Amino acid sequence: MDPFLDLIQLLRPRATLWGGIEGHGRWAVSFRNRGDLLFCWLERGACQLIRPDGAPLLLDQGDFALIRADHDFVLASDSQVVPQDSERMVSTTGKTLLSVGAGSEAPVILRGGRFVFDTANEDLLAGLMPSFIHIANDDTTSSWRVRSLLSLNLSESSQPGAASDFVITRLMELTFVEILRGVVPETAGKHKGLLAGLNDPVIARALVAMHEDSAKNWTLADLARLCGVSRSGLTGRFRSVVGIAPIEYLQQWRMAVAKDALRRGHKSIGEIGLAIGFQSPSAFSTAFTRFTGISPTAFAALERRVPS
């Protein structure tokens, strides 16, 4: 079993295109703190990305940015322009391609959208990746696959053909997967989690084993023996790289699988519990309630009322 594939299948990432910005002269557009994972790429020209936690960043033609909107941020010609609110502009005009500023020079054209995930396990992203990723058009250190996908995306948006929106959306979903498996692990020392663990040869053995058989009654001794290290050595290394202890990770993963199964609604509570290592529905229900603060039955009912 591939732990990374398990993660992608639980998150079910998909890209939605919100449109873009066509800027002339001096202009600025603000985006509110919604917690969304937004992306944008510059089809033409250059602009600044302004966030509260750093200096303005220049985005050039062909650049790509992935932004977790935990704070308001602004895309602008320069930092001195008072920004217009993107949500208000869309609701007022009914358009998602926002035309801003004034001037006769060649416009700045920026495309973008957001990534949407399965709501049951979207919190898995929190410790998975940095809140901001910038891939410059001439960045040779990033995955060549990401660069290739972004080049295809730029070509498709510049010269649209039949089903272009569909093609761009699929390309963006592939770009997200490539960022997770290629770009983010390059910063594994700064960002703890599953991806960092898969880059560690010792921890990877434990992760693969737990994902191959998450229902097994794994002990710390079992995992340490499998990895060829002591129990204390595995715990310390696992906690340092992944952020939590091995058995705690296993429990979190089991509950993530359970949440996904409850949301789908194809199995009974007893079947779900048995599939992840609990011998009775009551034992699973107790563990799930302790972990999430809500019973499996209540969780399933709540999730089914949430739109996909």
**Domain residue ranges in the chain:** 13-187, 200-304
Looking up tokens 């091995």, which residue turns up? 246
The two beta strands, 28-31 and 84-85, are parallel
CATH 2.60.40 fits 13-187, yes or no: no
Q: Which two tokens stand for residue 92?
A: 């007022």
Cβ neighbours, 10 Å, residue 40: 23
Q: pLDDT for 22-31, tens place per residue? A: 999 999 999 9
Look at residue 307 in the predicted model and tell me its pLDDT: 53
pLDDT digits (tens, 9 = 90+) for 167-185: 988 888 898 888 888 777 6
Positions of the chain with pLDDT lower than 50, given as ranges: 308
CATH architecture, domain 200-304 = Orthogonal Bundle (1.10)
Q: Please write down the long-range contacts of 1-6, taking CB distance under 8 Å and 24 or more positions apart.
A: 1/208, 1/211, 1/212, 2/208, 2/211, 3/194, 3/198, 3/207, 3/208, 3/211, 4/180, 4/181, 4/194, 4/195, 4/198, 6/211
pLDDT score of 141: 72
Q: How far is CA 141 from the centre of its chain?
A: 21
Whole-model pTM: value is 0.77
In this prediction, residue 14 carries a pLDDT of: 87
Per-residue tokens: 128: 């998975």
Angle between helical axes of 220-227 and 246-264 (0-180°, round to 10): 110
Per DSSP, 110 falls in state E
Is residue 268 within a helix (H) or strand (E), and if so which, with residue range? Answer: none
DSSP 3-state assignment of 284?
A: helix
